[in-house]
Structure 1
Amino acid sequence: MKTSNPVLARLGQAAERERAAGYAQPGPYGQPGYPPQQYQPYPQQQQPYPPGYGYPTAAPATTSMTLDDVVVKTVMMLAILGAAAAATWTLVPDQLLGLAWGGGALVGLVLGMIISFSRMANPALVVVYAVVEGVFVGAVSKAFDHLYEGIVLQAVVATFGVFFLMAMLYKARVIRATPKFIKIMIAVIGGLFAVMMINLVFSLFGVNTHLRDGSPLAIGFSLVCIVAASLSFVLNFHEIEEGVRMGLPQRYAWTAAFGIVVGLVWLYLEVLRLLSYFQGDD
């Protein structure tokens, strides 16, 4: 199974190793087993030997991931994230919003990196990530809503509107995840991430790069980020489609759902920030 996506290639190799692990089971007295397709019973044998007699048994079946699995896991992650965000909005006092904002962003970044570079799907870690991101999103949303009433609802509607638009464009094959497109998007997303990290470091030392202050440069940067976040869904849809085709194990649906949620959170934050630039001062 070949694919142009390095992440899918890695996951596909891991899935192949899992499926192959059951094909060389040893016999009851340490005799080596043989792949099922190589074992041919004698013609006169009417009944197969009972399990454990020394001949290999069939490898345990592994349920493959489906599109429905990804949809269900994505909805579950969004529900968990939304519940954590609502709890943060309701329970965290205003004076602690900065702590919840910064702590959620830092922990979420670390968890996101671990999940992204992990070779195995980890549903528990993905769920924890959804909770942490919910705390972060809830704190950010409450802070922005205090400054610009109604902006959160506008950002939520715009975010999901863009997501469903990209889903329709991908389904209609208006936008295709070609190898060149994938390489460009990976480079663009990596570059934007690096710029945002550098800007964050500068801001900690009081240096204003004008990327997040509402200036024309800031508006342009947010628009670039919104376009990149929107097109990142094409990568997600392609990975899901290829993962289903490759027969990845069912638990990898959590990894696919994680990718979609990351894109939605990124898009929401950029839309929220862009909308804030056009709000009048109270």
Structure 2
Amino acid sequence: MALGGNPVFNGKNFRSATRGNETAGFGTMTYGGTAVANQQQLEHMYNQPSAGPAETGRMTFDDVIVKTLLCLGFVLVGAAIPAFLVPGLALPLMVVGALGGFVLGLVNSFKREPSPALILAYAGLEGLFLGGLTMFLESMYPGIAVQAVLGTLVVFGVTLALFKSGKVRATPRAMKFFMIALISYAAFSLLNLGLMVFGVNDDPWGLRGADFLGTGIPFGVVIGILAIGLAAFSLIIDFTSISEGVRQGAPQRYSWTAAFGLTVTLVWLYVEILRLLAILRGDD
């Protein structure tokens, strides 16, 4: 890669600097042992192992993994509060977590530089929401929490394997369809929420509980499968962004951005799988 391709090197005249060093080198030859000492120092420098991304302050896959696990740890700690510590406050904590997580999600998404404190706060609030929601549905459908966790892990593992194999990529055409589907899904979700809030539809799942074209299958099952597919493709986008960031030498602090993106997608994926399982269990 040309030096000018990296913004760190822009505006620097390396040719003149090299000539200056060559001139200085010839100058030291007049001082007897100085040239030999300089040569030994250069040989020592050249024999040292090359500095890796961690030594140069660049983002690595290990950075992203560690910070993602830290975020998920905060999610689990937040979920444990309404699930085990104060189950009587599960509902209000779920509401606080949902609203607070939504606000901090927007704040972190639009910040120019990542803030570890805000990202971890987001993870904790999402944990409150997930803990309350999970325990509420677990009381109605025992075992659904374990099923949702296993389902999330399976989708994540399969998606990662497909990405590493090169069989699935976030191509421009795929991104276009993804955005169309995502906007359509968001519009449907807002419409469904509005109908439920204003009492137009009294089904616990709103339009999701309606029969799909007379097949006896709840509409929520079809929508849920679509949403899980969108969340899985969002993981592909996250993996692609992380790979590009590492390959292009992004600053190490942006590993927090990558961890935030993965946390958002995994929370979304878990909620969709949990809701799909609840609809299927409720239709039995």
The TM-score with structure 2 as length reference comes to 0.76
How far, CA to CA, are the matches of 1:62 and 1:165 in structure 2?
A: 33
Equivalent residue of 2:142, what SS? coil
In the alignment, residue 84 of structure 1 is paired with which amino acid?
A: G
**Structure 1: gaps (5+ residues):** 2-14, 24-33, 48-60
Cα displacement (A) at 1:121: 1.7
Alignment partner of 1:257 is 2:234: no
In the alignment, residue 91 of structure 1 is paired with which amino acid?
A: L
How far, CA to CA, are the matches of 2:24 and 2:90 in structure 1?
A: 77
Mapped contact 1:214–1:277 kept (Cα < 8 A): no
Alignment partner of 1:213 is 2:206: no
Which residue in the other structure is 2:35 paired with?
none
In the alignment, residue 222 of structure 1 is paired with which amino acid?
A: G
Alignment partner of 1:72 is 2:66: yes
Which residue in the other structure is 1:27 paired with?
none
**Structure 2: gaps (5+ residues):** 29-54, 212-217
How far, CA to CA, are the matches of 1:166 and 1:203 in structure 2?
A: 33
Moved over 6 A (4+): none
Which residue in the other structure is 1:93 paired with?
87
RMSD of aligned Cα (Å): 2.6
How far, CA to CA, are the matches of 1:73 and 1:93 in structure 2?
A: 29
Count of residues in correspondence between the two structures: 241
In the alignment, residue 155 of structure 1 is paired with which amino acid?
A: A
In the alignment, residue 116 of structure 2 is paired with which amino acid?
A: P
Task: Choose which of 232, 235, 238 in structure 2 pairs with 1:233.
Answer: 235
Mapped contact 2:196–2:206 kept (Cα < 8 A): no
How far, CA to CA, are the matches of 1:79 and 1:207 in structure 2?
A: 39
1:1-282 equivalent positions in 2, closer than 5 A? 19=8, 35=12, 37=14, 40=17, 41=20, 43=23, 63-94=57-88, 96-208=89-201, 210-213=206-209, 215=211, 216-279=218-281
How far, CA to CA, are the matches of 1:271 and 1:189 in structure 2?
A: 17
Give deviations 1:253-278, integer Å, cap 9, x for gaps: 11111111111111111111111122
How far, CA to CA, are the matches of 1:253 and 1:184 in structure 2?
A: 27
Q: For the structure 1 residues 111 and 62, does the alpha-carbon distance in structure 2 shift closer, same or farther, using more than 3 Å as the test? A: farther
Mapped contact 2:58–2:250 kept (Cα < 8 A): yes
How far, CA to CA, are the matches of 2:196 and 2:271 in structure 1?
A: 18
Give deviations 1:103-130, integer Å, cap 9, x for gaps: 2111111111121222222221111111
Mapped contact 1:211–1:217 kept (Cα < 8 A): yes
- Structure with bigger gyration radius: 2
